[in-house]
């Protein structure tokens, strides 16, 4: 694939949208960060970035989108590429794929932001030595992506583990949870907004010794145990804004071992220090890197 090719990539999150133009080798030529506001405001900024980028770098070959969701990823569906029902105000039923094809004017692939992150870490990052991994993001929401041999797993039935039910942490019965659909599902108890609602301060403001982190570790470890037993990954990579509190990794691993209660499945999940780790891709992010890979894969397959 020649380096003269140009590809568009979008990582659309509930708080921010990252946009990039990359060369044929995947190297980023230009990028920007846009605050996720209303669809009309957000797409207007995206249109402006790519319009200027195409004028500077030339025509695009293909595009790739990693988006928050849940998404309709059934290619036979009339709503393929649309966000389904989301707690993000104004974004339910938005046809993000159709809007981006209209902006970019080229064939464009779409997947969840966490699947894109899983692809990127599998190919370029912390999962290069394993066949199957899960990428978990804990931030505005909680999402899980799965990659098998460097390819996103799940298709139309992509994992929506952020709304799974987990046992309450000890002495945490008084907090109702914030999910607008389920109240105290995993996302309602352990997302970044849930931390702020419970403690009156965002994750970035909580001291490393704050009691919040033991409870957060419990909930993230519950998810890791459930993924271990249901999807059988060889590695779980934890990312997202809440994990910027790096001491949380050790707490999650310790809670994970306690929750396993000796019922490890194989050599992979028996070694928590190796099994649960941080992403190695930082700039660009795993999600944006995976979106670039989606675009490059789409063009290569034509």
Q: What is the pLDDT of residues 63-95, one digit of tens each?
A: 999 999 889 999 999 999 999 988 788 999 999
Task: With a cut of 80, say whether residue 147 has pLDDT above it.
Answer: yes
Taken in order of first residue, the domains within the chain and their CATH numbers are 6-113+283-301 (3.30.420.40), 126-277 (3.30.420.40)
- Taking the C-alpha atoms of residue 169 and residue 26, their distance in angstroms, rounded to an integer, is 43
The pLDDT assigned to 1 comes to 59
- Taking the C-alpha atoms of residue 286 and residue 66, their distance in angstroms, rounded to an integer, is 10
- Taking the C-alpha atoms of residue 236 and residue 145, their distance in angstroms, rounded to an integer, is 10
The pLDDT assigned to 2 comes to 63
Report which of 295, 289, 254 is spatially closest to residue 273, judged by C-alpha positions: 254
The pLDDT assigned to 302 comes to 86
Letter string b/e over residues 226-245, b meaning 16 or more CB atoms within 10 A of that residue's CB: bbbeebebbbbbbbbbbbeb
The pLDDT assigned to 3 comes to 65
Residues in the chain: 302
Task: With a cut of 80, say whether residue 154 has pLDDT above it.
Answer: no
Euclidean distance between the first and the last CA atom of the chain, given in angstroms as a whole number: 12
Per residue in 174-225, pLDDT (tens digit) is 999 999 999 999 999 999 999 999 999 999 999 999 999 999 999 999 999 9
- Taking the C-alpha atoms of residue 236 and residue 229, their distance in angstroms, rounded to an integer, is 12
Task: Compare 155 and 47 and report the one with higher pLDDT.
Answer: 47
Per residue in 112-143, pLDDT (tens digit) is 999 999 999 999 999 999 999 999 999 989 99
Task: Compare 288 and 15 and report the one with higher pLDDT.
Answer: 288
């Amino acid at each position: 694939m020649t380096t003269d090719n140009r590809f568009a990539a979008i990582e659309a999150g509930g708080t921010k949208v990252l946009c990039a133009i990359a060369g044929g080798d995947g190297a980023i030529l230009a990028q920007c960060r846009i605050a996720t506001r209303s669809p009309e405001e957000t797409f207007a900024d995206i249109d402006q970035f790519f319009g200027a980028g195409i004028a500077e770098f030339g025509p695009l070959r293909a595009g790739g989108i990693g988006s928050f969701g849940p998404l309709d990823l059934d290619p036979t569906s009339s709503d393929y590429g649309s966000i389904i029902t989301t707690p993000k105000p104004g974004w339910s039923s938005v046809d993000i794929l159709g809007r981006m094809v209209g902006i970019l004017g080229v064939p464009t692939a779409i997947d969840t932001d966490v699947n894109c992150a899983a692809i990127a870490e599998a190919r370029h990052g912390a999962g290069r030595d394993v066949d199957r991994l899960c990428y978990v993001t804990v931030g505005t929401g909680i999402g899980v992506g799965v990659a098998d041999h460097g390819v996103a797993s799940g298709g139309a039935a992509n994992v929506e583990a952020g709304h799974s039910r987990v046992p309450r942490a000890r002495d945490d019965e008084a907090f109702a949870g914030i999910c607008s659909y389920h109240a105290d599902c995993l996302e309602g108890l352990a997302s970044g907004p849930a931390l702020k609602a419970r403690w009156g301060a965002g994750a970035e403001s909580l001291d490393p010794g704050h009691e919040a982190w033991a409870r957060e570790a419990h909930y993230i470890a519950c998810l890791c145990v459930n993924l271990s037993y249901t999807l059988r990954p060889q590695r779980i990579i934890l990312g997202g804004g809440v994990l910027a509190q790096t001491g949380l990794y050790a707490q999650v691993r310790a809670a994970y071992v306690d929750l396993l209660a000796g019922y490890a499945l194989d050599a992979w999940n028996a070694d928590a220090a190796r099994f649960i780790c941080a992403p190695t891709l930082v700039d660009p992010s795993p999600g944006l890197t995976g979106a670039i890979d989606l675009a490059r894969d789409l063009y290569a397959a034509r």
